[in-house]
Amino acid sequence: MSLATLQAEVHRNGAGIALVLQILGQRFGDRFSAAQAVREQHAHTTTWLPNQAPDGVVFAETTEEVAEVVSVCAEHRVPVIAFGTGSSLEGHVNAPAGGISVDLSRMNQVLEVHAEDLDCVVQAGVTRKQLNEYLRDTGLFFPIDPGADASLGGMAATRASGTNAVRYGTMKDAVLALTVVMADGRIVHTGGRAKKSSAGYDLTRLMIGSEGTLGIITEVTLRLHGIPEAMSGGVCPFPDLESACNAVIQTIQLGLPVARIELLDTLQIRACNAYSKLDFEETPTLFVEFHGTEAGVREQSELFGEIAGENGGGTFVWATQAEDRNKLWTARHNAYWASLGLRPGSKGVSTDVCVPISRLADCIGETYRDIEESGLIAPLVGHVGDGNFHVLVLVDVEKPEEIEATEAFVERLNWRAIEMGGTCTGEHGVGQGKMKYLDREHGAGLDVMRTIKRALDPHGILNPGKILKTD
């Protein structure tokens, strides 16, 4: 994908940017940087989308400082892009029109924990691992687990989910309230700590998944959960992808309360074996985990074993000890890095879709045949309990024919999911990479989104060139 394509229709305000750089440099001193290396670090780096660096970076430490930066940028019509950890995959933090990146990583304080109410308040720069480490002695944990140690503000902004979503939901289910800096610098609180409310528009859900285009999230109030009495994980091989998918579909349709159920295809298992020093059978495999009481987990495991057996599943390898389960899920979370080892020197193009669970086997089957016919090297993994799966295409970016084949495959995958009643992205978000699919997915709803964007950000300064095109 060319830089020119991503910059199309995004205007650069050079005069305004020059003024803002001067103002912010004087105001923030050594917490402001215009160094090229720092700027490039705050643009997109995780896949093949080109790096579009901002003109300057401010390391904010309070909500009020973020509001100050946004106010200055609003006055001079300069773009402002929020930055958490930079782990997003669709160009969310690129700056196609230049501007200022607001780095929230220093806003990393856990502000309040209300153990009796099962909630907490954190600054946007707190990461999920940091929060769970903080909660370790309270008997509580935060379950949303996208793999990367992402910031919680970024997770809210992209409506993240992950391996636990089949049981605990996604960020839209986990967030009670937000503190948000709007496009004119106003600070807005979108709700309180009550578990439900009928008081007016749901501004919290409006901001979740808005990818920094409607406001910059600076604080997040989150639901927490009690650490289960018992956890049991397991790995089950299957003769083919269809059998594994059918086992997943039956598990969900029967209402079995599985906490995690992940699919890895043969190529991904091969990569994980090599990278994580494992010896799993190289065949389509389900990684499964159950949470609950000792008796409940045992019963759930036995029921799943029966379902797997009916679908040709092989011998289970169970892990009940914490260190064994952690090793298992660490290998799953390292799947991206493991895959890169399949073709050293290649770039990984990571894409995801999500379909109704009843269409999962159809969508994965057609996608797998598409990969084979295209001659691509592309391992497949999935949070298949909620119909979401990922494909990582390994591309030699020096070969135009490979780029063309990859772009065509990704496009077919997205159209396929939408036509099956699904979505072009289950959790990666839209950013720059998936904008062209939204019209077919949302139809007239896209115009409603544009109306909201223009109303809340009339000058288009908040993360421009993402999600949708505006005038």
pLDDT at 331: 85
In a domain, 214, yes or no: yes
Q: For the domain that residue 150 is a member of, what is the CATH number?
A: 3.30.465.10
The strands making up 216-223's β-sheet, listed across from edge to edge, are 110-114, 119-123, 216-223, 175-181, 187-189
The residue out of 105, 135, 160 marking a domain boundary is: 105
- Please state the pTM of the whole predicted model: 0.94
DSSP-based helix, strand, coil % in the chain, nearest 5: 40, 20, 40
Q: Give the whole-angstrom CA distance, residue 348 versus residue 393.
A: 6
* CA nearest to 223, candidates 135, 136, 119, 320: 119
Same domain, 148 and 93: no
Provide the pLDDT confidence category of residue 1 given band limits of 50, 70 and 90. Answer: very low
In a domain, 454, yes or no: no
In a domain, 344, yes or no: no
Same domain, 178 and 71: no
In a domain, 125, yes or no: yes
On the question of pLDDT at 321 being above 90, the answer is: no
Q: Name the DSSP class of 352.
A: E
Q: Among the listed ranges 10-19, 58-67, 183-192, which one has the minimum average pLDDT value?
A: 10-19
Q: Name the DSSP class of 227.
A: P
Q: Give the whole-angstrom CA distance, residue 366 versus residue 360.
A: 10
**Tens digit of each residue's pLDDT (9 = 90 or more) over 398-418:** 999 999 999 999 999 999 999
Stated as kind and residue range, the H or E segment containing 263 is: strand 258-264
Q: Assign 181 to helix, strand or coil.
A: strand
Same domain, 165 and 218: yes
**Tens digit of each residue's pLDDT (9 = 90 or more) over 122-179:** 999 999 999 999 999 999 999 999 878 999 999 999 999 989 999 999 999 999 999 9
On the question of pLDDT at 8 being above 70, the answer is: no
Q: Give the whole-angstrom CA distance, residue 129 versus residue 111.
A: 16
Q: Give the whole-angstrom CA distance, residue 416 versus residue 418.
A: 6
Tokens 């992808």 belong to residue: 241
pLDDT at 340: 93
In a domain, 297, yes or no: no
Same domain, 67 and 133: no
The residue out of 74, 105, 136 marking a domain boundary is: 105
In a domain, 395, yes or no: no
More confident residue, 1 or 286: 286
More confident residue, 408 or 324: 408
Same domain, 88 and 115: no
In a domain, 199, yes or no: yes
Q: Are 120 and 224 in contact (CB under 8 A)?
A: yes
> What average pLDDT does range 212-220 have in this prediction?
98
On the question of pLDDT at 469 being above 60, the answer is: yes
Same domain, 45 and 9: yes
Q: Give the rounded percent of residues in the chain with a pLDDT score beyond 70.
A: 97
Q: Assign 402 to helix, strand or coil.
A: helix
pLDDT at 3: 41
Same domain, 96 and 121: no
> What average pLDDT does range 95-118 have in this prediction?
98
Q: Among the listed ranges 279-283, 306-310, 325-329, 435-439, which one has the minimum average pLDDT value?
A: 325-329
pLDDT at 471: 62
CB proximity list for 295: less than 8 A, separation 6 or greater: none
The 10 Å Cβ neighbour count of residue 188 is 12
| Whole-number average pLDDT of the chain | 93
**Tens digit of each residue's pLDDT (9 = 90 or more) over 248-306:** 999 999 999 999 999 999 999 999 999 999 889 999 999 999 999 999 999 998 899 99
pLDDT at 315: 83
Q: Assign 236 to helix, strand or coil.
A: strand
In which domain, by residue range, is 33 found? 3-105
On the question of pLDDT at 76 being above 50, the answer is: yes
pLDDT at 7: 46
The residue out of 70, 85, 105 marking a domain boundary is: 105
Alpha helix (H) ranges present in 116-200? 128-135, 152-157, 165-168, 171-174
Q: What is the count of structural domains for the chain? A: 2
How far is residue 387 CA from its own chain's centroid? 15
Q: Are 184 and 69 in contact (CB under 8 A)?
A: no
Residue 88 buriedness (CB in 10 A; 0-12 / 13-18 / 19+): buried
Same domain, 222 and 134: yes
Let me know how long the chain is.
471
On the question of pLDDT at 182 being above 70, the answer is: yes
CB proximity list for 142: less than 8 A, separation 6 or greater: 120, 128, 131, 132, 135, 174, 222, 224, 225
> What average pLDDT does range 56-80 have in this prediction?
98
For residue 453 the two structure tokens come to 């964007």
How far is residue 461 CA from its own chain's centroid? 23
Provide the pLDDT confidence category of residue 332 given band limits of 50, 70 and 90. Answer: confident
Same domain, 117 and 100: no
